[in-house]
Amino acid sequence: MKVLMLHGINHNMFGKRDPKQYGTITLAQIDEKLVALGKELGTEVESFQTNHEGEMVERIHQGYFDGVDAVLINAGAWTHYSYGIRDALAILTCPVIEVHMSNIHAREAFRHHSCFAEIVKGQICGIGVDAYLMALRAAVSDVQSAKQ
């Protein structure tokens, strides 16, 4: 099984950016935790991060052609306004789970809306790095259930 983890804009700055909201964990540490949990679950996790919206869309398209089994996405601010990324995600035929370390519903009003909410399998937010791990467990479980 292969899961694609998509990290959006400014995530390369985790560990430095707004530690009150995001803690001090780095993107590399998040990815290490995902890979380790993936191994426990018998799943390969590939991570991709970009600060360029078009590159994110291209990587989603490549995920479609690669036949990934599930996608986890924390698109950062793009979550709230990128209909281009939303439309690319809608092309996928696998489960997509939206992830946020902070509780987007308890923050600024513009963060309460997700362009992806209507098309994703679920949304996990507000529990820090554990949101990523819960999303991976949920994705693996969903794919395994669909195969039975």
**Does residue 100 carry a catalytic annotation?**
yes
Selection from 3, 8, 29 nearest residue 104 by Cα: 8
Selection from 102, 98, 97, 99 nearest residue 128 by Cα: 102
**Does residue 81 carry a catalytic annotation?**
no
Q: Measure the CA–CA gap between 133 and 145, rounded to whole angstroms.
A: 18
Residue 55, φ and ψ in degrees, nearest 5 = -65, -35
Of 7, 11, 100, 132, the catalytic one is 100
| CB-CB contact of 5 with 142 (8 Å) | no
Of 7, 22, 52, 81, the catalytic one is 22
Q: How distant, in Å, are the alpha carbons of 11, 33, 44, 80, 84 from that of 36? A: 20, 5, 9, 30, 31
The residues that are catalytic are 22, 100
